[in-house]
Amino acid sequence: LAAALVRLRAGDDPATGWHAAAIRACLTRDLRLNGDRGEIPVSLDKDDPSPAYQLGRLFAALEAAQRLALGRGINATIRDRYFGAASATPAGVFPLLLRGAQNHVGRLRKDGKDYWIEREIGEIVERLPSALPRVLRLEAQGRFAIGYYHQRQAQFAGRPALAAAVEAETTQDSRSEDSQDDV
pLDDT at residue 180, as a whole number:
46
Could you tell me the pTM of the whole model? 0.76
pLDDT along the chain (183 residues), means of 10: 78 68 81 72 82 94 90 83 91 94 87 81 92 92 90 76 51 47 46
Phi–psi pair at 128, nearest 5 degrees? -85, 155
Both ends of the chain: CA-CA distance in Å? 37
pLDDT at residue 131, as a whole number:
92
Kindly list the domain boundaries of the chain, sorted by start residue.
2-157
pLDDT at residue 108, as a whole number:
87
pLDDT at residue 127, as a whole number:
93
